[in-house]
């Protein structure tokens, strides 16, 4: 626990979740500061819809959609996160110290999601520009229809990685269960190694892993352009 | 929706608290399943005897019923009444006879489950109401499973409430929906499995019963469901000596587990697990898709 002397404490056993989110919304985009949330106990929608340059530390496991729609804020979960952590994040940073369930970072537009443990299925599904770093492994159908942004996985992936992917960039250090439709391995050039290194550095793991251990995957671009040979299929 | 839970105790010291712990797991899942609630508890057994969990209309005189069975069987049949349900204990060799007697003297009675150790209760209503009516918090045992239902594919009736039991000491709760249950049900009926409802989950229970009857162990039987049952499912299964978990390969339905030195628990959401003793020091993990998890009693 990284307790801050001046942190504002919010105990969810004594105050309601709705009050917490309302208080975090009221402070306004110019606010800074440090909040600590106690006893999340798997509650859903903890610290959602933030738009302020604050740090929120959550001491325990959270339920669904924690840090959803996050803008500017840094949200740290000292525990596991349920379905859809940092869903549709716009900017800022979400750091899960444990594991994350399905659909971590789904549709996220911007910002950085770091998961110290593993993420389950559909990690980064429909990713729209955010970056995700998973220190463990990820489940099946991850980066499905991912449009933009980077996903770096230090461990392995499940099946059908990057199915129907658009222009998101995937980097995997371990084993890929299988590639989804239209997702292919691509050559790792200096520019990719550079981009990956920068991402890993932001996530605080650049010193722990070697970027040349990663493979790069992305779209073969055969699926999302209209192809005249497929005309009869429509 | 729907919520399912399972609790398997490794530490016998917790056994008197099994029902109270299970009740604490069911309540937080009220929002996921406010329509009906059910649970199966694996408690004590009596040598050479089986338990029949009976369900009758409100006001059923279970004491008088047990006295009539006693008269016919010639052996004293103890009865424990809990609201609309009652558990009677009969010698193993007389289970079928007791069924026949019941269908003659009290056709309005349903036998919800049988087994050496399993007792099964289910009713329409919120988890808190149903648990209180059956005094779940006072029940003891080694393991238990439970369900809170949000009806989607059939009506809000007791027939649609889980757990489903299709063989002695076997039962199953389900989060999800099966798409090929009608065809599987037809095949199972041909092979001698009986069903009492049109519900998809009962087919999953019947399928496992059928596999076990043909000599598979529960682990292999659960593996086989991956091939034969189509649809969305997270299953939690209870047997006399164990407790199993299986999610379909797509894993649409949420699931979380915690294991400590004293117990293994399953919940649809982590909220169901937060009041378990020492849960904050347990290993919390999400069961992987298409992987069979199983725990058996050692003590």
Q: Is residue B76 pLDDT above 90, yes or no?
A: no
Q: Are B251 and A98 an interchain contact pair (Cβ–Cβ within 8 Å)?
A: no
Q: Are A101 and B256 an interchain contact pair (Cβ–Cβ within 8 Å)?
A: yes
Whole-number Cα distances in Å, A181 to A128, A136, A208, A222: 19, 24, 32, 9
Chain A residues at the B interface, defined by Cβ less than 8 Å, are: 41-43, 60-61, 63-64, 80, 82-83, 98-99, 101-102, 120-121, 139-140
Taking CB atoms and an 8 Å cutoff, what residues of chain A touch B247? none
Neighbours of B63 (CB within 10 A): 11
Distance CA A128, CA B201 (A): 38
Whole-number Cα distances in Å, B169 to B18, B113, B174: 17, 8, 17
Distance CA A108, CA A102 (A): 14
The residues, any chain, with a CB within 8 Å of residue B247's CB and separated by 6 or more, are B233, B234, B235, B253, B255, B287, B288, B289, B290, B291
Neighbours of A85 (CB within 10 A): 33
Token digits for B58? Answer: 């409100």
Q: Are B270 and A82 an interchain contact pair (Cβ–Cβ within 8 Å)?
A: yes
Give the total number of structural domains in chain A: 1
Say whether the peptide bond before residue B77 is cis (omega within 30 degrees of 0). Answer: no
Q: Are B270 and A61 an interchain contact pair (Cβ–Cβ within 8 Å)?
A: yes
Sign of CA dihedral A200, A201, A207, A210: positive
User: Which residue from B254, B271, B280 is facing A101, i.e. has the nearest CB?
Assistant: B254
Q: Give the side-chain half-sphere CA count within 13 A for A15.
A: 14
Q: What integer pLDDT is reported at residue A4 of this predicted model?
A: 52
Gap between the terminal Cα atoms of chain A? 56
Secondary structure (DSSP) of B204-252? HHHHHHHHHHTT--HHHHHHHHHHH--EEEEEEEE-SSEEEEEE-SS--
CA B87 to chain centroid, in Å, comes to 15
Identify the CATH class of B3-44+123-296: alpha beta
CATH number for position A174:
2.160.20.60
Token digits for B201? Answer: 């989950």
Distance CA B95, CA B102 (A): 11
**B119-161 residue pLDDT tens:** 999 999 999 999 999 999 999 999 999 999 998 777 899 988 9
Q: What integer pLDDT is reported at residue B155 of this predicted model?
A: 82
Average pLDDT of the segment spanning B69-95: 93
Average pLDDT of the segment spanning B225-243: 95
User: Which residue from B254, B271, B284 is facing A83, i.e. has the nearest CB?
Assistant: B254
The residue ranking higher by pLDDT, B114 or A222, is B114
Could you give the residue numbers annotated as active site of B?
2
Distance CA A117, CA A100 (A): 7
B279 shares contact with chain A (CB less than 8 Å): no
Distance from CA of B281 to the nearest CA of A (A): 11
Distance CA A4, CA A90 (A): 26
Please give the model's pTM, rounded to 2 decimal places.
0.91
Sign of CA dihedral B121, B125, B127, B133: negative
Q: Are B271 and A120 an interchain contact pair (Cβ–Cβ within 8 Å)?
A: no
**Residue B233 contacts residue A61 (beta carbons within 8 Å):** no
Mutate to test the interface with A, among B5, B175, B265, B271 (most CBs of A within 10 A): B271
**Residue B240 contacts residue B263 (beta carbons within 8 Å):** no
Would you say residue A3 lies in a domain?
no
Distance from CA of B277 to the nearest CA of A (A): 13
Distance CA B221, CA B204 (A): 11
**Residue B240 contacts residue B117 (beta carbons within 8 Å):** yes
Residue of chain B whose Cα is closest to the Cα of A142: B250
Distance CA B56, CA B44 (A): 23
B46-116 topology per CATH = Alpha-Beta Plaits (3.30.70)
Distance CA B242, CA B227 (A): 23
pLDDT in tens, chain A (234 residues): 454 557 899 999 999 999 999 999 999 889 899 999 999 999 999 999 999 999 999 999 999 999 999 999 999 999 999 999 999 999 999 999 999 999 999 999 999 999 999 999 999 999 999 999 999 999 999 999 999 999 999 999 999 999 999 999 999 999 999 999 999 999 999 999 999 999 999 999 988 999 999 999 999 998 877 777 777 766
Domain of A181? 8-233
What ipTM was predicted for this assembly? Answer: 0.86
Q: What integer pLDDT is reported at residue A234 of this predicted model?
A: 61
Distance CA A93, CA A85 (A): 11
Task: Tell me the angle at which helices B200-213 and B181-190 cross, rounded to the nearest 10 degrees.
Answer: 40
Would you say residue A90 lies in a domain?
yes
Q: What integer pLDDT is reported at residue B299 of this predicted model?
A: 56
Q: Where are the alpha helices (DSSP H) in A27-113?
A: none
Length of chain A: 234
Q: For chain B, what are the domain ranges?
A: 3-44+123-296, 46-116
Distance CA B101, CA A4 (A): 71
Distance CA B161, CA B26 (A): 14
3-state secondary structure at position A200: helix
Neighbours of B64 (CB within 10 A): 11
DSSP annotation of A163: T
């Amino acid at each position: 626990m990284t307790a801050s002397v001046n942190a504002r404490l919010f105990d969810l056993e004594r105050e309601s979740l709705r009050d917490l989110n309302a208080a975090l919304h009221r402070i306004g985009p110019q606010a800074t500061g440090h909040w600590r949330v106690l006893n999340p106990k798997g509650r859903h929608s903890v610290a959602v819809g933030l738009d302020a340059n604050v740090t929120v530390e959550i001491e325990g496991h959270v339920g669904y959609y924690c840090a959803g729609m996050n803008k500017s804020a840094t949200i740290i979960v000292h525990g596991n996160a349920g379905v859809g952590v940092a869903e549709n994040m716009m900017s800022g940073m979400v750091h899960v110290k444990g594991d994350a369930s399905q659909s971590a970072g789904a549709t996220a537009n911007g910002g950085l999601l770091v998961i110290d443990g593993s993420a389950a299925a559909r990690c980064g599904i429909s990713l729209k520009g955010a970056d995700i770093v998973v220190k463990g492994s990820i489940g099946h159908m991850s980066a499905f229809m991912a449009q933009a942004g980077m996903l770096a996985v230090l461990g392995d992936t499940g099946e059908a990685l990057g199915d129907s992917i658009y222009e998101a960039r995937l980097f995997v250090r371990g084993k890929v269960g299988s590639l989804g439709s239209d997702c292919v391995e691509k050559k790792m050039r200096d520019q990719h190694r550079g981009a990956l290194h920068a991402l890993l550095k932001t996530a605080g793991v650049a010193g722990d892993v070697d970027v040349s251990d990663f493979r790069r995957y992305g779209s073969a671009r055969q699926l999302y352009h209209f192809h005249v040979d497929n005309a009869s299929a429509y | 929706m729907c919520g399912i839970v399972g609790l398997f105790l490794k530490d016998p010291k917790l056994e008197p608290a099994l029902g109270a712990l299970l009740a604490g797991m069911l309540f937080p899942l009220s929002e996921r399943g406010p329509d009906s609630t059910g649970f199966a508890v694996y408690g004590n057994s009596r040598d050479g005897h089986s338990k029949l969990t009976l369900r009758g209309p409100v006001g059923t005189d279970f004491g008088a019923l047990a006295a009539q069975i006693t008269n016919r069987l010639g052996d004293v049949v103890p009865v424990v009444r809990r609201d609309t349900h009652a558990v009677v204990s009969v010698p193993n060799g007389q289970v079928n006879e007791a069924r026949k007697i019941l269908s003659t003297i009290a056709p309005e009675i349903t036998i919800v489950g049988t087994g050496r150790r399993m007792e099964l209760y289910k009713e329409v209503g919120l988890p808190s109401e149903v648990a209180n009516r059956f005094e779940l918090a006072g029940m003891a045992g080694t393991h238990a499973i439970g369900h809170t239902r949000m009806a989607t594919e059939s009506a809000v009736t007791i027939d649609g409430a889980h757990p489903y039991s299709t063989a002695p000491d076997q039962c199953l709760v389900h989060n999800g929906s099966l798409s090929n249950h009608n065809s599987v049900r037809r095949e199972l009926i041909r092979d001698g499995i009986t069903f009492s409802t049109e519900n998809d989950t009962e087919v999953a229970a019947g399928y496992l019963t059928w596999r076990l009857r043909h000599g598979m162990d529960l682990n292999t039987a659960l593996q086989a469901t991956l091939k034969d049952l189509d649809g969305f499912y997270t299953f939690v299964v209870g047997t006399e000596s164990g407790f199993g978990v299986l999610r379909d390969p797509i894993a649409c339905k949420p699931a979380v587990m915690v294991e400590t030195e004293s117990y293994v628990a399953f919940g649809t959401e982590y909220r169901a697990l937060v009041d378990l003793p020492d849960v904050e020091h347990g290993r919390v993990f999400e069961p992987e898709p298409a992987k069979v998890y199983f725990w058996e009693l050692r003590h």
